Amino acid sequence: MTDDQWFREAVVYQIYPRSFQDTDGDGIGDVPGIIDRLDYLHTLGIDVLWLSPIYRSPQDDNGYDISDYEDVDPTFGSLADVDRLIEQAHARGIRIVMDLVVNHTSDEHPWFVESRSSKDNPKRDWYWWRPPRHGHEAGAPGAEPTNWQSFFSGPAWELDEATGEYYLHLFTRKQPDLNWENPDVRAAVYAMMRWWLDRGVDGFRMDVINMISKRVGPDGSLADGRPIAGTVLGDGTPQFICGPLIHEFLQEMHREVFEGRPQKYLTVGEMPMVTVDEAVLFTDPARHEVDMVFQFEHVDLDHGEHKWDRKPLDLRDLKASFARWQEGLADVGWNSLYWNNHDQPRAVSRFGSDAPEHRVASAKLLGTVLHLHRGTPYVYQGEELGMTNMPFAGPEDFQDVESVNYYRTAVEAGADPEWVLHNLRLGSRDNARSPMQWDASNQAGFTTGTPWARVNPNYPEINAEAAVADDGSVFHHYRRLIALRRSEPAVAHGHFTMLAPEHPTLYAFTRTFEGTELLVLANFSADDLTVTGEDVPGLDGWSAADLVLGNLADDPSSVVAPLRAWEARILRRTT
Ligand code: ISL
């Protein structure tokens, strides 16, 4: 491995600053809070911190709507705090990766304020402005320039009354899309990125970066849209997912921002709907685009017709998806690995079991399976504690703009409110955003004030202080998984082979590297599971003594002993 591939051996921890640690009592997490918790993160053993946005923002989408890229929002602290964070993280060997949100800005960003001020403003073309649809009056139903639906409900176009034109917003109306075809926009973004690198950050997680190149024109198909109980908007995604200039833009970004610097930075592109074939192109080191992408296939498998329409997950589909990505990026490119982030429900409640008797084992099983795939694992704050989904009582418990919009539009369109609520409980992003549970004290040690989002009432039991003190906790299992990655090169570099793809509850695979073989066996169920030689060819060749890490208190007596409820084993041998 060359130094410029260091990210392959790294483990990244995602912080959602708003919910991590508050220090000033305003109920919202802040940068000094992150600094206070660096020792905890160092104990866990992670290499990189990715911070969700802390830039100045009206917080319409919790900071993914940025009004000043070169300043910190006062709720999170100051630039001086960030400098201190960088310095103190680096002192512990931890790198800092910032969120880069440049598909759109806030509508309060000075660029947009100028752009909307008049049709002939020099920055007009920095965003996507269009007149009403031919033959329609501005503001009339269906007058939007295209029928595209925004990701957060409703049309993707908003009328600006003053100039009579519409602007494009793939997300909320307070997140207008930048026009990347304008070279001045790109130059401004690259300059901002260099400014952060000069401050000492170590890379970027790039928000919806595969949407920056668009064909703004054709209507979307209604049939393939994301119908939300009766809306008749179209699916614009074929026009802006991995659009025509995307590779050109990313290569230019690499040249303009990263090339020629003494350090290899980490770049990860968030790419909804990206395919394996596209991902190979994006992550081929020879093409200089990004190191890895966040793809969504495995977290969309329990979606029905649309994200809110949930269906039970079939483990065979999950394995098939992971196997396809492992194989697709085996020779060229690289995978990112995640169960969780700030947009996804909690993994243990979704892929494991949050029943009290299974929570710890299944959370450890999920960590085991994920970290043993080939790719760079991401741990989302609280995942290492086995934090669970929230017990939401009613619609008033939801705060996220996506959830609030969905509830309103679906109920307005006639959907049964109980059904909508059920979907929100399972799928709302608010599940991931409840405050980090630090200890059993008031508000879980997150804040001395009133937390901006409710603390999960299970914090007296599930919290970091208790986990660190308990050698059998999810925390220590994650610590061991990360340590194993350090001591055993097959974890980062081994060749991946999926076994028993058709088994409904067994997740089994091997990793092989320079004479070492790892075997991972995991029981995705609460029933005992007997693994046979048919599932795992050559099973007799393994012995219980090969066990390097299990997830239950007592190790199995033999390798053929049935896997117990949510049991996961990692075995190792040399050939
Ligand atoms: O969370 C989603 C829907 O449930 C996704 O569609 C999500 O919006 C998509 O993955 C893009 O996410 C990113 O960009 C959004 C922001 O709201 C998310 O938090 C961010 O991760 C707009 O900036």
Domain ends where: 474, 508, 524? 474
Question: Mean pLDDT, to the nearest integer, of 395-416?
Answer: 94
> Could you confirm whether 39 is annotated as catalytic?
no
Co-location of 189 and 314 in the same domain: yes
Co-location of 214 and 323 in the same domain: yes
Co-location of 428 and 563 in the same domain: no
Among 61, 68, 41, 63, which residue's Cα sits nearest to residue 52?
63
The closest residue, in CA terms, to atom 6 on ligand 1 is: 151
Co-location of 533 and 567 in the same domain: yes
- Cα–Cα dist 508/520, whole Å: 5
Co-location of 77 and 223 in the same domain: yes
Co-location of 511 and 439 in the same domain: no
* 524, part of any domain: yes
CATH number at residue 198: 3.20.20.80
In the reported structure, the alpha carbon of residue 61 is separated from the centroid of ligand 1 by a whole-number distance in angstroms of 9
Mutating to test ligand 1, I would choose from 50, 208, 268 the residue with most ligand atoms within 8 A of its C-beta, which is: 208
In the reported structure, the alpha carbon of residue 557 is separated from the centroid of ligand 1 by a whole-number distance in angstroms of 46
Co-location of 465 and 546 in the same domain: no
Range of the domain at 379: 8-106+183-474
Q: What is the residue-averaged pLDDT of the chain?
A: 96
Query: pLDDT grade, residue 2 (50/70/90)?
Result: low
* 132, part of any domain: no
* 457, part of any domain: yes
Work out the number of other CB atoms within 10 angstroms of the CB of residue 461: 11
- Counting atoms of ligand 1 from 1, which one is nearest the CA of 104? 23
* 146, part of any domain: no
Residue 229 pLDDT exceeds 50: no
Kindly state the helix (H) or strand (E) to which residue 42 belongs, with its residue range. Answer: helix 38-44
Largest interatomic CA distance in the chain: 77
- The 10s digit of each residue's pLDDT in 63-77 is 999 999 999 999 999
- Structural domains in the chain (count): 2
Co-location of 245 and 279 in the same domain: yes
The closest residue, in CA terms, to atom 1 on ligand 1 is: 343
In the reported structure, the alpha carbon of residue 406 is separated from the centroid of ligand 1 by a whole-number distance in angstroms of 14
* 161, part of any domain: no
Per-residue confidence (pLDDT) for residue 470, from 0 to 100: 98
User: Which residue is catalytic, options 30, 207, 488, 567?
Assistant: 207
Residue type, position 458, single letter: N
Co-location of 291 and 393 in the same domain: yes
CATH number at residue 514: 2.60.40.1180
Q: Is 400 in the pocket of ligand 1 (CB under 6 A)?
A: no
- The 10s digit of each residue's pLDDT in 79-128 is 999 999 999 999 999 999 999 999 999 999 999 999 999 999 999 999 99
Co-location of 404 and 456 in the same domain: yes
Contact yes or no for 182/125 (Cβ under 8 A): yes
Percent of the chain that is helix, strand, coil (3-state, to 5): 35, 15, 50
> Residue 246's Cα: distance from chain center in Å?
21
- The 10s digit of each residue's pLDDT in 420-436 is 999 999 999 999 999 99
Note the pTM of the prediction, 2 decimals.
0.97
* 112, part of any domain: no
In the reported structure, the alpha carbon of residue 119 is separated from the centroid of ligand 1 by a whole-number distance in angstroms of 30
Question: Mean pLDDT, to the nearest integer, of 460-471?
Answer: 98
Mutating to test ligand 1, I would choose from 178, 235, 343 the residue with most ligand atoms within 8 A of its C-beta, which is: 343
- Cα–Cα dist 482/372, whole Å: 10
Q: Is 208 in the pocket of ligand 1 (CB under 6 A)?
A: yes
User: Which residue is catalytic, options 270, 289, 302, 384?
Assistant: 270
Residue 227 pLDDT exceeds 80: no
* 71, part of any domain: yes
In the reported structure, the alpha carbon of residue 134 is separated from the centroid of ligand 1 by a whole-number distance in angstroms of 31
Co-location of 217 and 311 in the same domain: yes
* 140, part of any domain: no
Per-residue confidence (pLDDT) for residue 221, from 0 to 100: 86
Co-location of 372 and 518 in the same domain: no
- The 10s digit of each residue's pLDDT in 206-220 is 999 999 999 998 999
> Could you confirm whether 207 is annotated as catalytic?
yes
The closest residue, in CA terms, to atom 4 on ligand 1 is: 343
